[in-house]
Amino acid sequence: MRRVRRWVPIAFMLTLAGCGDETPQEPEESPGLEVGSVFRNWSIYRLANDPAFDSLLTAGAQEGGVVDVVEEIGGLVVRPPDVGPTATAEVFSNETGQTFWVSAQAPAPDGLAAPDSAVGSESKLGQVLRFRKDAEDASLRFIITQVQLEAIDDNASEPTHAECPWWVRGVLVEFAGECAELMKGEIEATYYAYTDPTRTEPLEAFYFANATAKLFGWGAEWYPDVYTGSLSVDPLFRSGDFDFEMDTDGSGRHPRIRLDAPVAVDIPLDSVDAGEAFEVVMKVRATVRNRRQRESYLAAYFRDPATSDGLTVEYDGLTLLPAPDEIPDDVVWSPAPAPPCEPNAAAGAGGTIAFETAAFLDAEWPGGNTAIAVTRTGGSAGPASVVFAAGDGTATAGSDYQSVTTLILFADGEEGRRAVPVPILTDDDEEADETVMLSLTSPGGCATLGLANAELTILDDDQPPPAEYTVGGTVTGLEGTGLELRNIAAVIAITDNGPFAFPVGYPPGRSYDVTVDQQPSDPLQACTVTNGQGTIADQDVTDILVTCVTPSSDLLDPGFGTGGIVKVDIGPDSDDRIATALALQADGKILAVGRNTLVRYNADGTLDTGFGTNGEVAVSFGTGDTRLYDVAVQPDGRILVAGGAVDPVSLPADDDFGLARFEADGAPDAGFGNGGVVTTDFDGRIDAAYDILIQPDGAIVLAGLALVGAGIDSEFALARYTSAGVPDSTFGADGDGTATVDLAGDSDIGYAAALQSDGKIVVVGRAAPSGGSDPDIGVARFDASGILDSSFGSGGIVRVPTADAEWALDVAVDASDRILVSGSFGTDAFVARYDANGAADAGFGGGMVVSTLLSGANGIALDDTGRILIVGEGDDDFGVVRLLDDGTVDTDFGTDGLVTADFFGGLDVASDVVIQPIDGKMVVGGWITDSGLPRVGLIRVLP
């Protein structure tokens, strides 16, 4: 189960955001380069279905001045926010060449039958600078700050034969694999340097570095890839430099990858003599091709640098000379193989060089350029090399592919992967799939050979459509409406019991996987699929059975929703806190938040359509993304929501506390903050508000985390605002309306807060040193004005170090001002109780009760008799446990103290609970699995 409420991204592969953001404004100029010191050439191409119809839209060469070229490629059907209705390709370079970018977008193709139909674009930019080395210790550094790629595929159906004519050839039964490159975006960057810029032949490079970042896929199947060029001196950037967001909007069909942090390119100058001139060339390419058609989008973006704050061309001991008048195309880079291994070298220290797989696959289609990956593992001592060759199998060089023989280099200390592109050539011949034989020979350095032979299969794209069959079966027990079934990418709506079939033809040998894509509602039902997976033979599939049942439980309130449960039509953000928080209005109506939406339900669980727009209010804290973590109701009925104002662009991220207020009908409160919203930034890093407190005087306090300093040091954080939404300068030691406290020195997160009767503020959460590897329970108390209360615990802090991983997730204060803290203790749940001064309450299980009934206690509440309710996950379902005042389990509640509720057979995790004041019924909200996707669910439990 997921309990992490906010996380700092960790580099994984590659980030793809590209043109989903507005074109950046040129930053303030850094002093590193001078006007007129750079020469550029560029080109933009419109890419067609048939490469013979590719067209050059613009090209040029220029010394100095500004290069700012934009070409329209075609219309867009779907696109990210802030992207116009037309796909464009761009090249930009400012007067010094210090700030430059290229971008490319693919249109939604208007039909693949036409050979001249636009399917993509390509932007290229080359820049050259000339320097003279003046000092022996001279240095030169370039900074790459953004590499981004982004895709959207909202098509409900699978790819058609026209889009993927090479489908199902007997090579793979995985349709996603065979059609994986229907949508493909690439960024390639190359840096090289050479002396003798007077053009004496030949020009020999003394440095060469190249790398490619790539995103490809369709539907919800997406694959990032990043690799170093085979002849690169060292990796220009690596897969670990990138962050991959598979699901940016909850659909699974909007992936994005982006460089996680700036990358420095250091040009080695040892081989350049003092007084000698040399030139450095930077070439970047953005290419996108999209055969998916219809509701799809694809973009690639490269920028260098993003800001002027130190991210510039940095050099020392050099003189920048006037710009050259060309970028030569005859520079030679001929590196030698790695020198032989020393006789006394440790066995295996150089590692093993091998093909990444024995079987590579690509299609004969425009833009085919297969990256054959080769890895070095198990050791990295010394440089290493190997000779790569691609030769005829059943394919013929020159007509089916281009033959390649090249050296592959690995630098000293480098483990990882490099790749050699093998170009695939197209023709109009209907032929069998063909193979190219790949080999590795002549290992150099201390490396040895592993898998030295592999095969590339080229899928022919000229085959006629195969015979087609249907996939279907029978639906029984359906009473509700809105049931939808999915087979891979095809989705159909089911309106009645009886036979069904997907309106798509499938070829024999094709696998199918039928699942419930949306469960029925009105009444809410749980439908399951039997016989949903298999392989199509030479006949229609008719034996799939879909069975629907209406949930019921004696422990849930039958007057609430369907049998006591409600599916809320908003989704949480699966990368953040379990994104459900609840609040009750005085009239019994229920408020819930998830992701960036506020929704209201009537007391019987029906959607309150008079609230906002059909019961929902979309919340925004301004530019960027919004994540909601809490909701509260003021005494006057106005509604507060809080969370994070997420910055999706800056590196490092600059997220802020976000707070918004709405009128009782869901309209923004224009008199609050700035148009109903107020945000707070602590130290220019990641901040997030997880809880809302309303003080007796109407002031509003948010509790959460703030990253401070240059590292990853997060602290408990508070911010207070007046009832008008203005930061309260009387709060906190610094007079800026904020307060923070460091509990463990590295990774502290304040997840929840509560007020004691004297107005003091208790904050609980995670206290963790060493990057969060061993979290402990953390509790801190501030007085009403935001000053740490030294009378509480030890200097205002209570921390409970143990050998287990535990952290607090919620807090409540009882009528005696005792503090009850709930959370996770290893894989179990705990509740701890402290007296008003922070001492453990020995009368409550020795101070802490650990329960195996739940996997974590995410929420806590106290009923009017002092009994304690905790909620979390119990056997993959919503779980509610009731404890007595002494911490023992109330066995009269549910089954031996536990009530569980299953929604649709997947993982369900309760995260918040509120108790209705009149009848004592408990409303529980949390994260549910609906047809494999995260949603928000509610239940109401009888007392």
Task: Find where tokens 């990295």 sit.
Answer: 380
Task: Find where tokens 């995790």 sit.
Answer: 909
Rg (alpha carbons) of the chain, rounded to whole number? 31
- Classified as helix, coil or strand, 772 is helix
Q: For 347-401, what is each residue's pLDDT tens digit?
A: 778 999 999 999 998 888 766 678 999 999 999 999 999 999 999 999 999 999 9
Beta-bridge partner residues of 806: 825
Q: Which of 571, 570, 519, 522 is nearest to 548 (CA)?
A: 519
Q: For 511-552, what is each residue's pLDDT tens digit?
A: 899 999 889 988 889 999 999 999 998 899 999 999 999 887
Cα–Cα distance, 427 to 399 (Å, whole number): 8
Q: Please answer whether residues 343 and 312 qualify as being in contact, where contact means their C-beta atoms are separated by less than 8 angstroms.
A: no
Alpha helices for 59-185 (secondary structure H): 175-178
Q: Which of 11-25, 421-435, 832-846, 907-921 has the lowest mean pLDDT?
A: 11-25
Q: Which amino acid is at 77?
A: V
Q: Is the pLDDT of residue 923 over 70?
A: yes
List the Cα angle 797/802/806 in 5-degree steps: 80
Query: And the tokens for 658?
Result: 């976000």
Q: Which of 607, 14, 582 is nearest to 259 (CA)?
A: 14
Q: How many CB atoms lie within 10 A of CB 559?
A: 12
Cα–Cα distance, 387 to 299 (Å, whole number): 34
pLDDT more than 90, % of the chain? 58
Q: Which amino acid is at 68?
A: D
Query: And the tokens for 669?
Result: 């409160």
Phi, psi of 607 (to 5 degrees): -65, 135
Omega cis (within 30) before 652: yes
Cα–Cα distance, 705 to 70 (Å, whole number): 42
Query: And the tokens for 600?
Result: 């209201």
Q: Is 271 exposed, middle or buried (0-12, 13-18, 19+ CB in 10 A)?
A: exposed
pLDDT more than 70, % of the chain? 89
Q: Which helix (H) or strand (E) holds 935?
A: strand 933-941
Could you please report the per-residue DSSP string of 817-863?
Answer: --EEEEEEETTEEEEEEE-TTS-B-TTTGGGEEEESSSS-EEEEEE-
Euclidean distance between the first and the last CA atom of the chain, given in angstroms as a whole number: 27
Cα–Cα distance, 549 to 534 (Å, whole number): 25
Q: For 188-229, what is each residue's pLDDT tens digit?
A: 999 999 997 666 677 889 999 999 999 998 888 888 999 999
Sheet holding 749-755, edge to edge: 749-755, 761-767, 776-782, 797-800
Q: How many CB atoms lie within 10 A of CB 790?
A: 12
Q: How many CB atoms lie within 10 A of CB 745?
A: 12
3-state secondary structure 788-800: ECCCCCECCEEEE
Supply the mean pLDDT for the chain: 86
pLDDT-based confidence at 155, cuts 50/70/90? Answer: confident
Q: Which of 154-163, 357-366, 484-493, 870-879 has the lowest mean pLDDT?
A: 154-163
Q: Is the pLDDT of residue 632 over 90?
A: yes
Q: For the chain, percent helix, then strand, then coil, each to nearest 5?
A: 0, 50, 50
pLDDT-based confidence at 172, cuts 50/70/90? Answer: very low
Q: What is the largest CA-CA distance in the chain?
A: 93
pLDDT-based confidence at 109, cuts 50/70/90? Answer: low
Give per-residue burial for 472-501: e unless 16+ CB within 10 Å, then b: bbebeebebeebbbbbbbbebebeeeeebe
Cα–Cα distance, 104 to 187 (Å, whole number): 10
Q: Which of 46, 100, 152, 12 is nearest to 302 (CA)?
A: 100
Give per-residue burial for 157-178: e unless 16+ CB within 10 Å, then b: ebbbbebbbbbbbebbeebbeb
Query: And the tokens for 87?
Result: 């796909």
Q: How many CB atoms lie within 10 A of CB 782?
A: 26
Q: Where are the beta strands (DSSP E) in 450-605?
A: 453-459, 471-476, 483-487, 490-494, 498-501, 511-518, 526-530, 533-535, 541-549, 565-568, 581-584, 590-594, 597-601
Sheet holding 848-851, edge to edge: 806-813, 819-825, 828-834, 848-851
Cα–Cα distance, 288 to 109 (Å, whole number): 12
User: How are beta strands 933-941 and 819-825 bridged, if at all?
Assistant: unpaired
Q: How many CB atoms lie within 10 A of CB 632?
A: 18
Q: Which of 188-202, 805-819, 836-850, 885-899 has the lowest mean pLDDT?
A: 188-202
